[in-house]
Amino acid sequence: MTEKNLSQKNDFIREIIRGDIAANLHEKIVTRFPPEPNGYLHIGHAKSICLNFGVAQEFQGLCNLRFDDTNPTKEDQIYIDAIKFDLTWLGFNFENNIRYTSDYFEQLYDWAIELINKGLAYVDDLSPDEMRSYRGTLTEPGIESPSRNREIAENLDLFERMKNGEFEEGKMSLRAKIDMQSGNLNLRDPVIYRIMHANHPRTNNNWCIYPMYDFGHGQSDAIENVTHSLCTLEFEDHRPLYEWFLENLSIPSKPKQYEFSRLNLSHTILSKRRLLKLIECGYVTGWNDPRMPTLAGLRRRGVPPEAIRDFVGRLGVTKSDGIVEMSYFENTVREHLNVTAQRRMAVLNPLKIVIENYPEDPQFKDELEATNNPNNEDDGFRRLLFSREIYIEHNDFMENPTKKFFRLGPGREVRLRYAYLIICKEVIKDKKGNIIELRCHYDPASRGGNSPDGRKVKGTLHWVSANHSKKATINLYNELFTEAIPGSNGDWIEDVNKTSLESLTNCFLEPSILDFKSNTTIQFERLGYFCADLNSTQENPIFNRTVPLRDTWAKKT
C-alpha cells in the first residue's frame, strides 16, 4: 500500500471515531501528541505521530503538539527544538497547536487541592523505598501508609508547604487515595505530586513540586478538549487511573483513552533511556548518529520522510504487539528511493586501470551521456568524463575467475557503463603479490557500451575517471545490535554490534555527486543508496549509506 491511499485504511481507532461522529458525540475531533522533551524522537514515535496527526487531518479535526514537561531534571530546550524540527521534517503542521503541560500547572495544582478537600488525596511522608515496600505485588495487596488518614486541614497545610519549598526532595509527596487492595497496582494510592528543586525550561524556579504524568495527562487532555487520547498499549493499565481523575474532579470535558500497539523494530532499541546510554557509553556519537533509530539519525542517514510515513502506514493500527523485521523497514525505504533517487557512480574499493590504447595526452577526454534516473525521464541526463586512467571496484576483478564470475579477469572483456568495452591484458602486482593495477585495451567503436559486431559481453561494471573523480570518505552502516531482540539472552548492552560502522577513506566519486545537498539521497550504481553527511564539504566529502541495493538480512537470520 502506498502513502497516497493510506487515508482509505480502516482500523479500530478510525472505526471508533467514525462511530462517534455518526452519534454526534463531538463537534470536532481533537487528538494530541504528547512527547516528553527528555530526548530525541525515534521511529516508534513516528507511528504515534502519523496516527494522531493523521486521523485529525482525515476527520477535519485538530491535533495538538503537547510537551509533557513535568520532569525538569531530564528536560531541555534542545529537545523541544529537536522535536519541533522532526515533526516538521516528517511532514506535519502544528505551529498553531503547540501546548505544554506546564501551561496548566496552576490549574493542576488547584485540582490537587480539590482532591484533598474531597478526602481523595493526602500528603505522605513515606520515603520512596518505603512506598515501594508498602505497595505490594501482583499477588499481595498493598499496605496503607500511616499518613493515609491525615486530616484534610493538615494535608492542605503540608501541600502548601511543599509548594513553598519547605521540604527537601523525597521528604514528602502527594498521593491519591484510591484503593491499596486493588488488583491494578496503578490504583494503589499513586503519587500525583513530587518535590523537585530544579530549574524548569519554561517556568524557571516558580515551582518546586511537579505533577506526575498520570495526573497531568488526562487533565491536560480535558483542558484541550481532546476527544480521543491515543496511547500505546503500555498505558492500558493506566486507563482506570486516567478515568478516576476525570470522574472525581469538576472537569466538564471527559476525553477517552484508547490504546494501540507500539512499534517494535528488530536489531535496535526504542527506549530513550537506553538510547541515551548508548551515547554516554560512546557506542554512537550522538542522538543524530546514522545508526540510531531516531528521526534525526534516520534523516542524517538519508531516509526520506515519505518512506517513514509509508512504512508506519503499512503496519496498520492494531492491539497486538509484535516485532517488525528491520528488513521490512529497509525494503520500504528501498522501494521509495528506487523511484525517486538519481543515479551516480562511485568506487569504494578502487582498483586502477590504465587503458593502454587510449590517447596518452592527459588533456584528452571523452564526454559521455548518462541517464540520471531510469524511472523518471524528467530527471534528464548528465555528462560523464572518461580518460585513460579509471577506477573500478577491486572485487569486480578476479585473477582466476570462478565459473559464475562474469566480471573482469585476464583476457576477459566487460562493458564499462555508458562508456566502452574493455579487455584485460596485464595484471600488475606489488612485491607482496597484491594486485595494484590492470592494463587494459578498449574498443573505440563500442562507445556507449554497445558491441559493434554483436559479440556478447555479460559483465557491466561501474567506474570513475581517475583524473576527474573526487576522493571521499564513505560510511557503511550495519545493524546496531547483533541480536534481533537486544538483551533477550542477557544484558542488552552486550549485544551492541562493535562493527556497526565501517568507514572507507579511499573512495572516489563522480564529481556531480558533490552537487547534492545533505538531505538528498542518491543511488551509487550497483552499490546502494547514499546521502551526504552533515559534516560533508566540497574539500572533504563524506557520504553515509542509507540502505544497500538488495536485502542483506536474509543471510543474517
The stretches in the chain having pLDDT less than 50 are 1-7
Report the Cα–Cα distance between both ends of the chain, in Å, rounded. 26
The type of residue at 441 is H
Q: Which CATH class is domain 345-465?
A: mainly beta
Residues in the chain: 557
> Residue 110 gets which letter from DSSP?
H
State residue 29's pLDDT score. Answer: 97
Determine the 3-state secondary structure of 92 from DSSP: coil
Note if the pTM is more than 0.85.
Answer: yes
455: left (phi over 0), alpha (psi -120 to 50) or beta: beta
**Domains 3-101+214-328 and 106-211 fall in the same CATH topology:** no
**Active site members:** 36, 262, 272
Class of the 470-556 domain?
mainly beta
DSSP 262: P
Q: What is the DSSP string of 19-51?
A: HHHHTT--SS-EEEE---SSS--BHHHHHHHHH
Helical pair 152-163 and 105-117, crossing angle rounded to 10 deg: 160
List pLDDT tens digits, range 466-498. Answer: 999 999 999 999 999 999 999 998 899 999 999
CA separation for the pair 112, 209 (Å, rounded): 12
Residue 4 confidence (pLDDT): 42
- All cell numbers assigned to 218: 488526562
Q: Which residues pair with 229 in a beta bridge?
A: 257
Other CB atoms within 10 Å distance of the CB of residue 423: 15
In the CATH scheme, what is the homologous superfamily, with its name and number, of domain 3-101+214-328? Answer: HUPs (3.40.50.620)
| Residue 58 CB-density burial (10 A; 0-12 exposed, 13-18 middle, 19+ buried) | middle
pLDDT value at position 554? 65
What is the C-alpha separation between 78 and 38, in angstroms, rounded? 9
pLDDT at 267: 96
- Report d(CA 480, CA 500) in Å as an integer: 5
Give me the helix-helix angle, 213-223 and 239-248, nearest 10°: 60
Least Cα distance to 25 among 311, 228, 304, 245 occurs for 228
Query: How far from chain centre, in Å, is Cα 424?
Result: 46
**Which letter, b or e, does each residue of 434-447 get, where b requires 16 or more Cβ atoms within 10 Å of its Cβ?**
eeeebebbbbeebb
* Amino acid letter for position 189: D
How far apart (Å, rounded) are the C-alpha atoms in residues 509 and 543? Answer: 10
Q: Is the distance from CB of 295 to CB of 237 less than 8 angstroms?
A: no
Distance, in Å, from the CA atom of 431 to the CA atom of 518, rounded to the nearest integer, reads 41
* pLDDT recorded at residue 96: 82
What values do phi and psi take at 294, rounded to 5? -70, 155
- Segments making up each domain of the chain, as ranges: 3-101+214-328, 106-211, 345-465, 470-556
Q: What does the alpha-carbon distance between residue 391 and residue 395 come to, in Å, rounded to a whole number? A: 12
Q: Tell me how far apart the alpha carbons of residues 29 and 1 are, in angstroms, rounded to a whole number.
A: 26
Per-residue DSSP letters for 278-339? HHHTTSSSSTT-TTS-BHHHHHHHT--HHHHHHHHHHH---S----B-HHHHHHHHHHHHHH
Region for 124 from its dihedrals, namely left if φ exceeds 0, alpha if ψ lies in -120 to 50, beta otherwise: beta
Report the pLDDT value the prediction gives residue 428, as an integer from 0 to 100: 96
Report DSSP state, residue 263: P
Q: Is 11 helix (H, G, I), strand (E, B) or coil?
A: coil
546 closest CA partner among 313, 271, 275, 335: 335
pLDDT for 1 equals: 36
Domain 106-211: which CATH number of 3.40.50.9100, 2.160.10.10, 3.90.800.10, 2.30.29.30: 3.90.800.10
Which residue type does 296 have?
Answer: A
- Contact predicate 26/60, CB 8 Å: no
